[in-house]
Amino acid sequence: MPSSLTVHADGLPLPQRRWAILTIALGIIMSVVDGAIANVALPTIARDLDASPAFSIWIVNGYQLAITISLLPLAALGEIIGYRRVYLAGLALFTLASAFCALSHTLLLLTVARIVQGFGAAGIMSVNAALVRFTYPRRQLGRGIGINAMVVAVSAAIGPTVASGILAVGSWPWLFAVNLPIGLLTFALGWHFLPHTTNSPHAFDWQSAGLSAVTFGLGIAAIDSAGHGEALMTCLTEFAVAAIAGTLLVYRQTHMASPLLPVDLLRIPIFGLSIATSIASFCGQMLALTALPFYLQSRFGYSAVKMGLLITPWPITVGFVAPIAGRLVERFPAGLLGGIGLAIFAVGLGALALLPAHPSDFDVVWRMALTGAGFGLFQTPNNRTMIAAAPRERAGGASGMLGTARLLGQTTGAAVVALLLGRYPVDGTQLSLFVGAVFAMAGAALSSLRLSEAGRQGAEHVQIHEDQRLKGDR
């Protein structure tokens, strides 16, 4: 087996490639699942730690906020010191913080541990797509991204189920303690099998990192505040500070050769359209996933267990379709596959919103499956296009923007659901599904624009750059 110290021009050789993708998948599973399990356990944790619901929510918010403010800076750091180092450091920090979470006996200690855990998760999430690019040969990149997309989607969907299963047999500290053996195993595998990459010579831009943290941290906080009906002055202040920081950040980035916020990549038409498509699609996804439990329970009277089973076809079909889409994107344009996938996704959401007054289990199941199939068909081609559109030395920036777009879309979707439920207590859940379908159709339209001349020129530019890069590496 070739040494892991070898920097390969076009992917890793077998069997090292299989071990590397397993390592990347295990890290993603832990970081994504941990973002969901605390939601389920929050009432139990608050009761055991004698904390109020208002303060206990920071167990969730602290984790998400840490990821939000550090995703792009850590992606940029990966370009400088190597994606492998950032991934392994994030994994080690995540595992260590998981131990502290399990041992925490006060709300303050648990919240601090969760924030540290969030920074570790950001280290994993920020460079995982970049590592996939250096793990697979360029001609098989779609397959690698397909596996990655499948793992992310399924992990996000099964998080509540995993949490319920652990809580059924143990106390809440075990939600975090289970990460220890998995984290240690993943670190050992990563140390031996993850690819080494050529480092970038430029220095880390601390000022841009600070501006990025303020921009995205306060920007997403403002969206969340608006969705939950916070005071208007609070929302406006958060938006204003985020806008000022964002303006300064963009101005600074336009004068840099390797910007932390990848404005250079956003100038590539196909990359910019893919980012916009991703934001719209994940907004639609979160609208649906947040509203569906309330919709099925309040409108049709399903129990929590029955509801969980009925939603399960969604992640199952995503897991089945995403790898297939990874192979299809090697033969068909991503704009076409993404447009078809999001159109199917929109039809599925609309069908769920129009369930009959007394639906059978099959009525719900086929709609969930249709929705999951559409999202799975979209996600892999879109992610593959974003990663492949960037020059190899800017893979970290592309990977960071992929995660940031997903987070921005999901936060916006959750905020819109909260807003609709507050304004329309009776029909808010059904309306959320319709709005989700609208976002999905907007994403389909944006995806189809990549079939235009501008999109083709962008793709040709990427192909030429990639070929030249490969020749240079050899």
**CATH number of the structural domain spanning residue 62:** 1.20.1250.20
What pLDDT sits at residue 468? 46
pTM of the model: 0.76
- Distance from C-alpha of 54 to C-alpha of 226, rounded to nearest angstrom: 17
State which of 197, 218, 235 marks the end of a domain: 197
Answer yes or no: do 241 and 335 share one domain: no
What pLDDT sits at residue 300? 84
Q: Which structural domain, as residue segments, surrounds residue 56? A: 1-197
Helical axes 269-294 vs 361-389, angle rounded to 10°: 160
What pLDDT sits at residue 53? 62
For residue 122, give Cα distances in angstroms to 22, 127, 217: 19, 9, 13
CA count, 13 A, side-chain hemisphere, 141 = 22
What pLDDT sits at residue 472? 44
What pLDDT sits at residue 95? 95
What pLDDT sits at residue 460? 46
Answer yes or no: do 348 and 451 share one domain: yes
For residue 453, the tally of other CB atoms under 10 A from its CB is 8
**Among 203-217, 275-289, 412-426, 449-463, which stretch is predicted with the lowest mean pLDDT?**
449-463
What pLDDT sits at residue 403? 80
For residue 274, give Cα distances in angstroms to 41, 69, 128, 338, 455: 35, 22, 18, 9, 10
Higher pLDDT, 314 or 148: 314
Confidence of residue 349 (pLDDT cuts 50, 70, 90): very high
Number of domains in the chain: 3
> Looking at residues 380-399, what average pLDDT do you find?
78
Q: Residue 469: is its pLDDT beyond 70?
A: no
Q: Residue 454: is its pLDDT beyond 80?
A: no
- Distance from C-alpha of 321 to C-alpha of 398, rounded to nearest angstrom: 24
- Residue in the block written with tokens 């919240």: 111
- 34-79 pLDDT, tens digit each: 876 776 677 778 788 887 665 676 787 788 788 888 888 898 888 8
Answer yes or no: do 280 and 192 share one domain: no
What pLDDT sits at residue 218? 84
Which of 388, 408, 410, 407 has its CA nearest to residue 398?
388
Q: Are 446 and 280 in contact (CB under 8 A)?
A: yes
Answer yes or no: do 246 and 314 share one domain: no
The vertex-254 CA angle with 249 and 260, nearest 5°, equals 55
Residue 55 one-letter amino acid: F
Cis peptide before 293 (omega within 30 of 0): no
Answer yes or no: do 43 and 60 share one domain: yes
For residue 223, give Cα distances in angstroms to 86, 158, 160, 384, 444: 29, 26, 24, 28, 24
Answer yes or no: do 326 and 237 share one domain: no
Confidence of residue 363 (pLDDT cuts 50, 70, 90): very high
Q: Residue 290: is its pLDDT beyond 80?
A: no
Report the phi/psi class of residue 194: left, alpha or beta, with left for phi > 0 and alpha for psi in -120 to 50. beta
Answer yes or no: do 230 and 283 share one domain: no
Mean model confidence pLDDT for the chain: 82
What pLDDT sits at residue 228? 64
Which of 263, 248, 172, 154 has its CA nearest to residue 207?
248
Answer yes or no: do 153 and 223 share one domain: no
| Tokens describing residue 396 | 């970290």
**Among 74-83, 94-103, 113-122, 456-465, which stretch is predicted with the lowest mean pLDDT?**
456-465
Answer yes or no: do 210 and 349 share one domain: no
Answer yes or no: do 17 and 148 share one domain: yes
Answer yes or no: do 341 and 453 share one domain: yes
For residue 461, give Cα distances in angstroms to 42, 340, 391, 456, 467: 49, 25, 10, 9, 10
Answer yes or no: do 72 and 169 share one domain: yes
